[in-house]
Homo-oligomer: A and B are copies of this chain.
Amino acid sequence: MPRIKKRRSQKSGLPPGALVHIGEVRTESPTLVLTSFGPDGIVERELAGAAGLEGIDDSAPVRWLNVYGVHDSELMAAIGRRFALHPLVLEDILNTDQRPKLDAYDDYLFIVGRIYDVARQRDDLATDQISLVVGDGFLLTFQERRSGTFEPVRQRLRAEKSPLRRLGADYLAYALLDAMVDAYFSIIERLGDKCEALEEEILGRPKRNVLQKAHQLKRELSLLRRTIWPMREVIGSLQRSPSPLFRDETRLYLRDIYDHAVHLLEQLEDLRDLLTGLLDIYLNSVSNRVNLEVRTLTLLTTVFMPAALVAGIFGMNFRSMPWLESPDGFWSALALMGGVAVALFAVFWSRRLFR
């Protein structure tokens, strides 16, 4: 079950802008990949740590520096110096439990996003922070570990005559955000599958932990909702922001991701409605079951208790009792037992009890 992370309080008392990594260290050593491209061509190469940063050639129309692993504060500080990033930006990149947000600085936009990794986790929604810095002609992306989220975009960049190469850093940033939002569709599909499995269990023979499962699903849904909601806000702000870093034609595309995010939120709401209905049906089935047991008990009592009384009566040791000597006494007694039971049953049935 997703828990509140207990790491923030480590940082209490440190000055703001202090570069302390908060979060799990998820990769051995950071990797820096620089992709420089323009309409004419594309060059991809891996940089050798902080030293390699100096060699970045600023003449290419777009430079995209992708960093896997953000726990090395020295390296991050070097990147910060190279691209003139504000200390708070660096701090937010290192503290990997940020909410998705958009912060506008004078020379660049700082975007924090968040992805969930399907392939890796089985039963758990673990999450990685992805930070983007969009500047004039450059784009920095920071991920907690190697992931395939940006791979499709990279493929399209490599394709000969890709339209992506003609467009600037803003369109590349859009393409990456689009890839991040698209990844949520499969997460939600997986949750949808879980909901259906739960539905089948509830309509069949629910196990005792079915409520826990349902509540865990509910919490996963609200966790996702709390991530997608601010991502939608981020995209909406980007679309409306007066920054010249995003061109009008790119903003048109942002409207498209915005619609996707709204779509995601509606699917989440739909799943939540489904879950709420399922819980209701489950709780009612429990109460129906008690109902059935009580009815059976009452029925048994109706049939057997009066008969037992009749038997008890003819088992009394009085000297003079009717029927005892009669040859048919025994059968009469049995008939009496059956008769009383039938009569009671008829009375209750007529009062709509046993149906």
Contacts and interface: CB of A to CB of B under 8 A. Distances in A.
Contacts of A133: none
Interface residues of A, number: 116
Nearest to A208: B288
Interface stretch (A36-44, A97-105, A134-142, A234-242): A97-105
B314 A179 contact: no
B290 A291 contact: yes
A290 B297 CA distance: 11
Contacts of A15: 156, 163-164, 175
A9 B302 contact: no
- Total copies of this chain within the assembly: 5
B330 A322 contact: yes
Given A15-B175, A99-B262, A329-B319, A4 B311 contact: no
Contacts of A277: 215, 218-219
A244 interface: no
A46 B218 CA distance: 51
A266 B99 contact: yes
Interface of A: 2-4, 6, 8-9, 11-16, 86, 88, 91-92, 97-99, 101, 103, 151-152, 155-156, 163-164, 174-175, 178-179, 182-183, 185-186, 188-189, 192, 196, 203, 208, 211-212, 215, 218-219, 222-223, 226, 252-253, 255-256, 259, 262-263, 266-267, 269-271, 273-274, 277, 279-281, 283-284, 286-298, 300-302, 304-309, 311-327, 329-330, 333-334, 337, 344, 348, 353
